[in-house]
């Protein structure tokens, strides 16, 4: 029994060991679930510098540059095609809804002032995309 638990037990003899463990578990869960990113860090123009299929290490050479605006609108430039819609961050996920289409979700692996790493599932393949802010 830890010294911390013993000091709590001495102040409140009715606390059970299970309540103590539940409190510790809840605190750990709260800290673990609090990982999220600020949308303000996403604002701006991003250029893809690396796109890799994780299964086989193959590099994808397709263009996919993003613009995220403060009005929660985004644009993706695929070179020959553009996608526009609404975006938001939910925890560690970047969620987008292309105008007139269904919602898409990708995992944000890293977001700093100048770099963004996304993990996405494209046609069953898990891929990492690294972008740098212009």
Distance between CA 75 and CA 107 in Å, rounded? Answer: 18
Q: What is the pTM of this model?
A: 0.74
Higher-confidence residue of 31 and 81: namely 81
Structural contact between residues 116 and 131, judged by C-beta atoms closer than 8 angstroms: yes
Q: How far is Cα of residue 1 from the mean position of the Cα atoms in its chain?
A: 38
Question: Which residues touch 69 (CB under 8 Å, ≥6 apart)?
Answer: 43
Residues of each domain in the chain carrying CATH 2.40.128.280? 39-133
Q: pLDDT tens-digit profile of 45-82? A: 999 999 999 999 999 999 999 999 999 999 999 999 99
What CATH number does the domain located at 39-133 have? 2.40.128.280
Angle at 43 between CA 40 and CA 48, to 5 degrees: 130
Q: How confident is the model at residue 28 (pLDDT cuts 50, 70, 90)?
A: low
Q: pLDDT tens-digit profile of 78-113? A: 999 999 999 999 999 999 999 999 999 999 999 999
């Amino acid at each position: 029994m830890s010294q911390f638990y013993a000091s709590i037990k001495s102040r409140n003899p009715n606390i059970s060991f299970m309540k103590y463990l539940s409190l510790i578990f809840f605190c750990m869960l709260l800290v673990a679930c609090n990982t999220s990113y600020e949308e303000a860090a996403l604002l701006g123009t991003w250029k893809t510098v690396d796109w890799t299929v994780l299964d086989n290490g193959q590099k994808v050479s397709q263009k996919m540059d993003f613009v995220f605006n403060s009005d929660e609108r985004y644009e993706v430039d695929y070179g020959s095609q553009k996608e526009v819609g609404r975006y938001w961050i939910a925890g560690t996920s970047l969620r987008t809804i292309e105008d007139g289409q269904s919602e898409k979700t990708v995992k944000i692996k890293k977001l700093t002032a100048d770099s963004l790493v996304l993990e996405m599932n494209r046609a069953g393949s898990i891929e990492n995309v690294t972008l740098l802010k212009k």
